[in-house]
Amino acid sequence: MSDRTSDASNRAPSDVDRSNLDYGTPDKTYLDSNELIINMGPQHPATHGVLRVILKLDGEKVLGTECVIGYLHRGVEKIAENRTYTMFNPYVDRMDYCAAVSNGLGYCEAVEKLMNVEAPARAKYIRVILTELQRIASHQLWLGTHALDIGAMTPLFYTFRDREEILKIFERYCGARLTTHAFRIGGCQYETYAGFEKDVKNFLAFFAPKIDEYEALLTTNRIWLERTKNVGVISGADCIALGVTGPLLRASGVKWDLRKAQPYAAYSEFDFEIPTGVNGDTYDRYMVRMKEMRQSMRIIEQAVSGIPEGPIMGKVPKVIKPPVGEIYHSIEAPKGELGYFIVSDGSTQPYRLRVRPPSFVNLQALDLMVRGLLVADVIAVIGTIDIVLGEVDR
Amino acid sequence: MPNFIMSYLDPKVTVTPGSAGNQFWALMYVLIIFAGVSVAVICMNWIERKALAHFQVRLGPMRVGPHGLLQPIADAVKLMIKEDIIPAEADQFVFWIAPMIGLLAAFTVYTVIPFGPSQAVSDMNIGILFMLGVSSLGVLGIVVAGWASNSHYPLIGALRSSAQMVSYEVAMGLAVVSAILMTSLNASGTGTLSMIGIVQAQQQQGVWFIFKFFPLGFIAFVIFAIAMVAETNRAPFDMAEAESELTAGYHTEYSGLRWSLFMLAEYAAMIAVSSIAVALWLGGWMRPFPNLLHAPAWDFIFSLFPGLTFGGLAAIAFVEAVRMPTQSFFRIQRIGLAVFAALLGFIALLLLVIAVAGRSADMSVAARFREGIDYVYWFVLKVAGFMYLFIWYRATWPRYRFDQLMKIGWKVMLPISLGVLVATAIVGVIFS
| Domains of chain A: residue spans and CATH | 2-68 (no CATH), 76-356 (1.10.645.10)
What is the H or E stretch that residue A209 is in?
helix A196-218
| Assigned domain for B74 exists | yes
Determine contact, residues A281/A253, Cβ cutoff 8 Å: no
- The pLDDT, as a whole number, for residue B314 is 92
Q: How far apart are CA B159 and CA B161, in angstroms?
A: 5
Contact residues, chain B, for A148 at CB < 8 Å? 244
Contact residues, chain B, for A150 at CB < 8 Å? 244, 398-399
Q: What secondary structure letter does DSSP report for B410?
A: I
- The pLDDT, as a whole number, for residue B8 is 66
CA distance A157 to chain B (A): 6
Q: How far apart are CA B185 and CA A90, in angstroms?
A: 78
Q: Give tens-digit pLDDT for B171-220.
A: 888 999 988 888 887 777 778 888 888 888 888 888 888 888 888 888 99
Q: Which residues contact A305 (CB under 8 A, 6 or more apart)?
A: none
Give the chain A residue whose CA is nearest to the CA of B59.
A157
Determine contact, residues A286/A228, Cβ cutoff 8 Å: yes
Cα→Cα distances A163→A133, A140, A177, Å: 9, 7, 11
Short-list A270, A250, A252, CA closest to A260: A270
- The pLDDT, as a whole number, for residue A11 is 43
Q: How far apart are CA A338 and CA A394, in angstroms?
A: 13
| Assigned domain for B36 exists | yes
Asked if A218 is an interface residue toward chain B (Cβ–Cβ < 8 A), one would say yes
Burial of A26 (0-12, 13-18, 19+ CB in 10 A): middle
Short-list B145, B382, B190, B141, CA closest to B277: B382
pLDDT along chain B (432 residues), means of 10: 64 68 78 88 90 89 84 89 84 87 88 83 84 85 86 85 85 89 78 85 83 85 90 81 73 85 88 90 84 77 86 90 83 87 91 80 72 87 91 88 86 91 87 72
Taking CB atoms and an 8 Å limit, are A221 and B398 in contact across chains? yes
| Assigned domain for B301 exists | no
Helix, coil or strand: residue A31? coil
Taking CB atoms and an 8 Å limit, are B244 and A150 in contact across chains? yes
Taking CB atoms and an 8 Å limit, are B397 and A149 in contact across chains? no
pLDDT along chain A (394 residues), means of 10: 42 45 47 71 79 82 84 89 89 88 90 89 90 92 90 89 91 88 86 87 90 88 88 87 90 88 86 88 91 91 88 86 89 90 89 90 88 86 88 86
Q: How far apart are CA B332 and CA A162, in angstroms?
A: 35
Taking CB atoms and an 8 Å limit, are A151 and B152 in contact across chains? no
| Assigned domain for B123 exists | yes
Phi, psi of A71 (to 5 degrees): -70, -15
User: Which residue among A218, A223, A375 places its CB closest to the CB of B245?
Assistant: A375
Strand ranges across the sheet with A350-356? A325-333, A336-344, A350-356
Q: How far apart are CA B90 and CA B93, in angstroms?
A: 9
Taking CB atoms and an 8 Å limit, are A154 and B243 in contact across chains? no
| Assigned domain for B338 exists | no
CB interface of A with B, residues 34-53, below 8 Å? 36, 38-39, 44-46
Helix, coil or strand: residue A182? coil
| Assigned domain for B259 exists | yes
Q: Which residues pair with A270 in a beta bridge?
A: none
Q: DSSP for B117-153, please give it.
A: SS-SS---TTHHHHHHHHHHHHHHHHHHHHHHTTSHH
ipTM computed for the complex? 0.81
Asked if A7 is an interface residue toward chain B (Cβ–Cβ < 8 A), one would say no
- The pLDDT, as a whole number, for residue A23 is 44
| Assigned domain for B272 exists | yes
| Assigned domain for B45 exists | yes
Give the chain B residue whose CA is nearest to the CA of A381.
B245
- The pLDDT, as a whole number, for residue A328 is 92
Asked if A149 is an interface residue toward chain B (Cβ–Cβ < 8 A), one would say yes
Q: Which residues contact B121 (CB under 8 A, 6 or more apart)?
A: B16, B17, B18, B26, B29, B30, B33, B110, B111, B112
User: Which residue among B58, B247, B400 places its CB closest to the CB of A157?
Assistant: B58
Asked if A375 is an interface residue toward chain B (Cβ–Cβ < 8 A), one would say yes
Taking CB atoms and an 8 Å limit, are A153 and B56 in contact across chains? yes
Angle (deg, nearest 10), helices B331-357 and B305-323: 160
Give the chain B residue whose CA is nearest to the CA of A161.
B57
Taking CB atoms and an 8 Å limit, are A223 and B57 in contact across chains? no
Q: Give tens-digit pLDDT for B86-120.
A: 888 888 888 888 888 888 888 888 888 888 887 78
Looking at the structure of chain B, the number of domains it has is 1
Contact residues, chain A, for B245 at CB < 8 Å? 46, 375-376, 379
Domain range for B427: 18-286+373-431
Contact residues, chain A, for B58 at CB < 8 Å? 157
CB pairs < 8 Å spanning A and B: 85
Helix, coil or strand: residue A220? coil
Short-list B224, B215, B367, B247, CA closest to B303: B367
